[in-house]
Amino acid sequence: MKIPKRIQPLVDEGLVDGVVRQLMSGKEAAVYVVRCGDELRCAKVYKEATQRSFRQAVAYQEGRRVKNSRQARAMEKGTRYGRKMAEEVWQNAEVDALYRLAAAGVRVPKPYICLDGVLLMELVQDVDGDVAPRLSDVQWDHDRALEFHSLLLKQVVLMLCAGVIHGDLSEYNILVDAHGPVIIDLPQAVDAAGNSAAAAMLERDVANLANFFGAFAPGLLASQYGKEIWRLYEAGSLTPDVSLTGQVAASMQPADVGAVIHEIELARHEEEEERRRRQEQWVA
């Protein structure tokens, strides 16, 4: 396959030997299978902000740090330099999250380098050595759905213990390799302690899992794992080996109307993104 212009710098640096094929094109990036010596890896080519269909960047960037105050002011003003810095922050967020989560024991692809808006990382493969399928492309029954739901809740807990929330977790960005689920697509990952919408994002991620697996194990549809996990986190009681029940006691505190409205807005945007996502095609 002809080497895409954006991947050429990695070839010039000797990091990539060739491009095998395009794997997929999504709302924020195009992904290619590339050859690196005797290994196959994947190269994620981030789209420019004007080309991305992911429109919730502002909410996800809250709490992210930049190198200095000049960069922060430029990003706030939206200058040309500020937009460039915002793009670097967006792209580096995934690399930082991958390293942080891998160190915490979360099953994510191994990152190698991010150069000129291209992230070179591990190619997740199935038991036959083929590209691992997405969760949405796997056949499920009741027992297997419960098993994988439990495995993924543990991953969500591990992520939160590391201070990270995926922010867009669904059956479309979880792969299934020979050993279980692998979480991908993390440029929108948020810092749990630094984002005012963190609780809503965590609960939405967990609700997406319950809704997907609930189609095969209906008992999950009434669960409240998201609220339970967040309450444990707020109380400082969340640990990687915590035992979850999926139930929470009713709160006697007055409702936070602003937070409710914000969560409704997030849900509305999620529905819009879901419609866009269903229109995207994986390239065979």
pLDDT tens for each residue of 145-190: 999 999 999 999 999 999 999 999 999 999 999 999 999 999 889 9
pTM for the model stands at: 0.79
Q: How far is it, in rounded angstroms, from Cα 67 to Cα 61?
A: 14
For range 74-88, the mean pLDDT: 62
Comparing 17-26, 28-37, 95-104, 272-281, the range with the smallest average pLDDT is 272-281
Kindly name the residue from 168, 177, 241, 256 that is annotated as catalytic. 168
For position 31, what pLDDT does the model report? 96
Q: How far is it, in rounded angstroms, from Cα 34 to Cα 190?
A: 29
Give all domains of the chain, ordered by start, each with its CATH number.
8-279 (1.10.510)
Comparing 61-70, 125-134, 242-251, the range with the smallest average pLDDT is 61-70
Q: How many CB atoms lie within 10 A of CB 197?
A: 21
For position 158, what pLDDT does the model report? 98
**pLDDT, tens only, 218-268:** 999 999 999 999 999 999 999 999 999 999 876 656 656 666 676 667 666
Q: How far is it, in rounded angstroms, from Cα 135 to Cα 181?
A: 8
Q: How far is it, in rounded angstroms, from Cα 131 to Cα 247?
A: 37
Q: Is 185 a catalytic residue?
A: yes
Average pLDDT, the chain: 85
User: Is the CB of residue 130 less than 8 Å from the CB of residue 147?
Assistant: no
Tell me whether residue 65 is exposed, middle or buried, using C-beta atoms within 10 angstroms of its C-beta: 0 to 12, 13 to 18, 19 or more: exposed
Name the pLDDT band for 284 (thresholds 50, 70, 90): very low
* One-letter amino acid for residue 134 of the chain: R
For position 173, what pLDDT does the model report? 94
Q: How many helices (H) and strands (E) does the chain have?
A: 8, 9
Find tokens 């269903």 and name the residue: 278
Q: What is the DSSP letter of 33?
A: E
Look at residue 282 and tell me whether its pLDDT is greater than 60.
Answer: no
132 CB contacts (<8 Å, ≥6 apart)? 124, 125, 126, 175, 176, 177, 182
pLDDT over 90, % of the chain: 63
Question: Which letter, b or e, does each residue of 222-239 get, where b requires 16 or more Cβ atoms within 10 Å of its Cβ?
Answer: ebbbbbbbbbbbeeeebe
Kindly name the residue from 185, 191, 205, 241 that is annotated as catalytic. 185
Look at residue 50 and tell me whether its pLDDT is greater than 60.
Answer: no
For position 116, what pLDDT does the model report? 87
Q: Is 168 a catalytic residue?
A: yes
For position 1, what pLDDT does the model report? 85
User: Is the CB of residue 48 less than 8 Å from the CB of residue 22?
Assistant: no
Q: How far is it, in rounded angstroms, from Cα 149 to Cα 147?
A: 6
Name the pLDDT band for 53 (thresholds 50, 70, 90): very low
Tell me whether residue 246 is exposed, middle or buried, using C-beta atoms within 10 angstroms of its C-beta: 0 to 12, 13 to 18, 19 or more: middle
Q: What are the contacts of 8-14 at 24+ separation with CB within 8 A? A: 9/115, 9/116, 9/118, 10/34, 10/43, 10/115, 10/118, 10/120, 13/115
SS3 63: coil
